[in-house]
């Protein structure tokens, strides 16, 4: 029995997240040593250099480029976009990618085949860098595997954004939707309008907690990305096959912009950058000059972000100021716009026209469906999946991110100890159970569902540490949902997650322990998990059988 446990426990280290389509164990293993090199053609130099950089620190091996290297990287276009094949034999490792992205994902899989210590950043002694002989074939289910990061409510310093990109890449996520502007802060330098960051990037204090009467913390908060920072983020992400989709919110969620340029508002009042959370009544006016301001901002944004998709927000725009304002009512009459809902559509359509003329596609929250859109517009369905169904039926592409499946600011258990619990309970299992394609859609309509994304709103995450706590390991679950086939089981994932957490530990990710009490409580055994060696061995053997392919 002991030998069997050794074998299966040993195999635990080969439990990948996301789960591959097929993974077959073969005879023997391959050990990295001082003679191991990487062999790749010149066109694959980027991925090869990345792999070398990933393997070097913990192994202490140089992993140099070698024309007879024992890790061979190559392209096999017949595999298809983002797909890869990975074969480990006692003679060496071969990774073939359908394209460079697929090759990169094969390299990510290789890292997970090594002991978790490979993710540490300095030389780890006493570990044999053994890769089990295995054959893996894999390809993603969805093309849009995203995460929306709200860097506006709380600014995330560039260094931490780059780290977050690495964590996304490890999970084969490929879209970073950066929510750059809000009532509480404007986070991207716009050369034409410097006050957006001089004034709009800074607030006096922040509300503590979710209650309407919550106090302020009395501490200024702010920060922004200079255009060179943005270029660096975009390029760093691209090297990891991640597209950064920028979002500039309008016509609501704009108080930081109004604090900088009051003439953009309906009242013209001098406001401060908002210090509270929630929905704000202060919205843009609908003058031509305001449309021009935003299209000028979008021009600079398009210069910086090569993404085909450009986000314009569009959610939660209160209409009270428009209703009460004689000038807005006059403008509506001039434009022949019937009501304030139609006025919001008119505004979004103006941005849509501008982006479409520049060869880009507008990306917005599901409220943008309310008044008709250009056919290229893509909808992020967040109020459940209704927006996804409506959009797909109207022929729009859809990114599924329903709040009841993909909102990682929601509480992770019903414990009173969860920090600032907002929304409903969304456990790791709940997120794992999220299905991006609504059952209501026909096969043809379902083709419009590009994939899905997690949304990480940061009102109550005032540091990258808190983002870690809310994002992980639920983001691991979502990554598997978006990558792996629909035929998956949570129990199988949960077993693999155990090993995966050791990788996150090595990386210094401050995740919430997914089972049992919160980390600052006493750490008992993990509730509900296999605990005796026999149970554990049987559990793992079952997982190995499941994944056999
Ligand atoms: C949203 O959560 N307001 C898109």
Determine if ligand 1 sits within 6 Å of the CB of residue 279.
Answer: no
Band the pLDDT of 66: cuts 50, 70, 90.
confident
Name which of 245, 143, 367 is nearest 379 in CA terms: 367
Place of tokens 């499941």: 546
Alpha helices in 271-339 (DSSP H): 288-304, 320-324, 326-335
Q: Which residue's alpha carbon is at the smallest distance from atom 2 of ligand 1?
A: 382
Determine if ligand 1 sits within 6 Å of the CB of residue 316.
Answer: yes
State whether residue 500 is helix, strand or coil. helix
C-alpha 352 – ligand 1 centre gap (Å)? 20
Other Cβ atoms closer than 10 A to 344: 24
C-alpha 402 – ligand 1 centre gap (Å)? 9
Distance CA 360, CA 348 (A): 14
Indicate which atom in ligand 1 lies nearest the CA of residue 457.
2
Pocket test for ligand 1, best of 382, 404, 406 (most atoms within 8 A of CB): 382
Indicate which atom in ligand 1 lies nearest the CA of residue 316.
3
Distance CA 110, CA 88 (A): 9
Mean pLDDT of 275-302: 98
Pocket test for ligand 1, best of 153, 277, 316 (most atoms within 8 A of CB): 316
202-203 and 38-40 as β-strands: parallel, antiparallel, unpaired? unpaired
C-alpha 93 – ligand 1 centre gap (Å)? 45
Distance CA 48, CA 396 (A): 38
Indicate which atom in ligand 1 lies nearest the CA of residue 407.
2
Determine if ligand 1 sits within 6 Å of the CB of residue 382.
Answer: yes
C-alpha 115 – ligand 1 centre gap (Å)? 39
Place of tokens 């026209």: 353
C-alpha 325 – ligand 1 centre gap (Å)? 26
What pLDDT score was predicted for residue 145? 98
Q: What are phi and psi of 155, to 5 degrees?
A: -70, 135
C-alpha 111 – ligand 1 centre gap (Å)? 35
What pLDDT score was predicted for residue 519? 58
C-alpha 45 – ligand 1 centre gap (Å)? 40
H or E stretch at 429:
helix 428-432
Distance CA 179, CA 367 (A): 16
Q: Which residue's alpha carbon is at the smallest distance from atom 3 of ligand 1?
A: 315
Distance CA 218, CA 205 (A): 5
Query: What are 226-262's pLDDT values in tens digits?
Result: 999 999 999 999 999 999 999 999 999 999 999 999 9
Least confident span in 122-131, 216-225, 333-342, 422-431: 422-431
Distance CA 398, CA 343 (A): 23
Mean pLDDT of 317-336: 98
C-alpha 54 – ligand 1 centre gap (Å)? 36
Determine if ligand 1 sits within 6 Å of the CB of residue 365.
Answer: yes
Distance CA 255, CA 185 (A): 8
Distance CA 511, CA 507 (A): 11
Query: What are 487-503's pLDDT values in tens digits?
Result: 999 999 999 998 899 99
Band the pLDDT of 517: cuts 50, 70, 90.
low
Q: Do residues 363 and 247 lie in contact, with contact meaning Cβ atoms separated by under 8 Å?
A: yes
What pLDDT score was predicted for residue 373? 83
Pocket test for ligand 1, best of 457, 458, 459 (most atoms within 8 A of CB): 457
Cβ burial, residue 287 (10 Å; 0-12/13-18/19+): middle
Indicate which atom in ligand 1 lies nearest the CA of residue 365.
4
C-alpha 231 – ligand 1 centre gap (Å)? 26
Query: What are 327-358's pLDDT values in tens digits?
Result: 999 999 999 999 999 999 999 999 999 999 99
C-alpha 455 – ligand 1 centre gap (Å)? 9
**Angle between helices 490-507 and 474-483 in degrees, nearest 10:** 120
Q: Do residues 84 and 128 lie in contact, with contact meaning Cβ atoms separated by under 8 Å?
A: no
| Tokens linked to 27 | 């005879």
DSSP designation for 371: G
C-alpha 382 – ligand 1 centre gap (Å)? 6
Query: What are 431-461's pLDDT values in tens digits?
Result: 999 999 999 999 999 999 999 999 999 999 9
Mean pLDDT of 259-271: 98
**What is the chain's mean pLDDT, rounded?**
91
C-alpha 315 – ligand 1 centre gap (Å)? 6
Determine if ligand 1 sits within 6 Å of the CB of residue 511.
Answer: no
DSSP designation for 339: S
Indicate which atom in ligand 1 lies nearest the CA of residue 455.
2
351-355: long-range contacts (C-beta < 8 A, 24 or more apart)? 351/250, 351/291, 351/294, 351/295, 351/298, 351/312, 352/312, 352/377, 354/295, 354/298, 355/298, 355/302, 355/310, 355/312
C-alpha 341 – ligand 1 centre gap (Å)? 17
Distance CA 450, CA 422 (A): 28
Determine if ligand 1 sits within 6 Å of the CB of residue 33.
Answer: no
Find the farthest-apart pair of alpha carbons in the chain and give their distance in angstroms, rounded.
83
Name which of 525, 524, 475 is nearest 497 in CA terms: 475
Distance CA 401, CA 179 (A): 14
Query: What are 460-487's pLDDT values in tens digits?
Result: 999 999 999 999 999 999 999 999 999 9
Q: Going from the N-terminus, what domains does the chain have, and what CATH number goes with each? A: 2-139 (3.30.379.10), 144-483 (3.20.20.80), 491-549 (no CATH)
Q: Do residues 292 and 357 lie in contact, with contact meaning Cβ atoms separated by under 8 Å?
A: no
Distance CA 393, CA 395 (A): 5
Mean pLDDT of 378-383: 97
Determine if ligand 1 sits within 6 Å of the CB of residue 278.
Answer: no
Q: What are phi and psi of 207, to 5 degrees?
A: -65, 140
Q: How many CA atoms lie within 13 A of 95 on its CB side?
A: 31
State whether residue 291 is helix, strand or coil. helix
Indicate which atom in ligand 1 lies nearest the CA of residue 403.
2
41-45: long-range contacts (C-beta < 8 A, 24 or more apart)? 41/74, 41/75, 43/75, 43/100, 44/73, 44/74, 44/75, 44/100, 44/103
Pocket test for ligand 1, best of 315, 423, 453 (most atoms within 8 A of CB): 315
Distance CA 66, CA 89 (A): 18
Q: Do residues 469 and 510 lie in contact, with contact meaning Cβ atoms separated by under 8 Å?
A: yes
DSSP designation for 91: T
Determine if ligand 1 sits within 6 Å of the CB of residue 277.
Answer: no
Q: Is the pLDDT of residue 40 over 90?
A: yes
Alpha helices in 215-304 (DSSP H): 227-239, 255-260, 288-304
Q: How many helices (H) and strands (E) does the chain have?
A: 19, 18
Determine if ligand 1 sits within 6 Å of the CB of residue 407.
Answer: no
User: How big is the chain by its Cα radius of gyration, in Å?
Assistant: 25
* Percentage, residues of the chain above pLDDT 90: 84
């Amino acid at each position: 029995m002991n030998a069997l446990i050794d074998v299966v426990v040993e195999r635990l280290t080969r439990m990948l997240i996301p789960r591959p389509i097929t993974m077959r164990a073969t005879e023997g293993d391959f050990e990295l040593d001082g003679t191991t090199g990487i062999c790749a053609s010149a066109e694959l130099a980027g991925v090869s250099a990345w792999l070398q950089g990933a393997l070097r620190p913990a192994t202490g091996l140089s992993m140099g480029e070698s024309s007879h290297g024992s890790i061979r990287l190559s392209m096999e276009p017949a595999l298809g976009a983002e797909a890869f094949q990975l074969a480990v034999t006692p003679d060496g490792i071969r990774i073939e990618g359908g394209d460079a992205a697929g090759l990169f994902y094969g390299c990510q899989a290789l890292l997970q085949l090594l002991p978790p210590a490979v993710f540490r950043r300095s030389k780890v002694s006493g570990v044999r860098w053994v890769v089990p002989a295995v054959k893996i074939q894999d390809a993603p289910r969805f093309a849009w595997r995203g995460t929306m990061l709200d860097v506006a409510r709380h600014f995330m310093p560039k260094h931490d954004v780059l780290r977050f990109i690495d964590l996304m890449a490890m999970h084969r996520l490929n879209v970073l939707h950066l929510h750059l502007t809000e009532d509480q802060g404007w986070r991207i330098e716009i050369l034409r309008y410097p006050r957006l960051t001089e004034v709009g990037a800074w607030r006096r204090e922040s509300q503590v907690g979710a209650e309407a009467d919550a106090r302020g913390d009395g501490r200024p908060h702010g920060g922004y990305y200079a255009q060179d920072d943005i270029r660096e983020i975009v390029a760093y992400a691209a090297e990891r096959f991640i597209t950064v989709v920028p979002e500039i919110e309008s016509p609501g969620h704009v108080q930081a912009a109004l604090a900088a340029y009051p003439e953009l508002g309906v009242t013209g009042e001098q406001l401060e950058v908002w210090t509270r959370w929630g929905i704000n009544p202060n919205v843009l006016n609908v003058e031509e000059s305001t449309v021009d301001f935003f299209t000028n901002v979008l021009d600079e944004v398009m210069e910086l972000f090569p993404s085909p998709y450009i986000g314009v927000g569009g959610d939660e725009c209160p209409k009270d100021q428009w209703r009460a304002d004689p000038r807005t009512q006059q403008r509506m009459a001039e434009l022949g716009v019937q009501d304030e809902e139609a006025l919001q559509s008119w505004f979004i359509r103006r941005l849509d026209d501008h982006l479409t003329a520049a060869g880009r596609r507008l990306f917005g929250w599901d409220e943008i469906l309310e008044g008709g859109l250009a056919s290229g517009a893509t909808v992020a369905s967040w109020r459940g999946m209704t927006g996804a169904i409506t959009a797909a039926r109207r022929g729009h592409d859809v990114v599924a991110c329903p709040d009841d499946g993909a909102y990682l600011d929601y509480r992770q258990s019903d414990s009173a100890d969860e920090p600032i619990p907002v929304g409903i309970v969304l456990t790791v299992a709940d997120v794992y159970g999220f299905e991006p394609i609504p059952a209501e859609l026909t096969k043809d309509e379902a083709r419009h569902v590009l994939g899905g994304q997690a949304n990480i709103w940061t009102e109550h995450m005032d540091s990258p540490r808190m983002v870690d706590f809310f994002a992980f390991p639920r983001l691991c679950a979502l990554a598997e949902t978006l990558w792996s086939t629909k035929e998956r089981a949570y129990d199988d994932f949960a077993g693999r997650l155990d090993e995966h957490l050791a990788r996150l530990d090595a990386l210094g990710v401050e995740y919430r322990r997914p089972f049992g009490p919160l980390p600052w409580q006493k750490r008992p055994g993990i509730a509900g998990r296999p605990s005796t060696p026999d149970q554990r061995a049987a559990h793992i053997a079952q997982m190995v059988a499941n994944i056999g392919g």
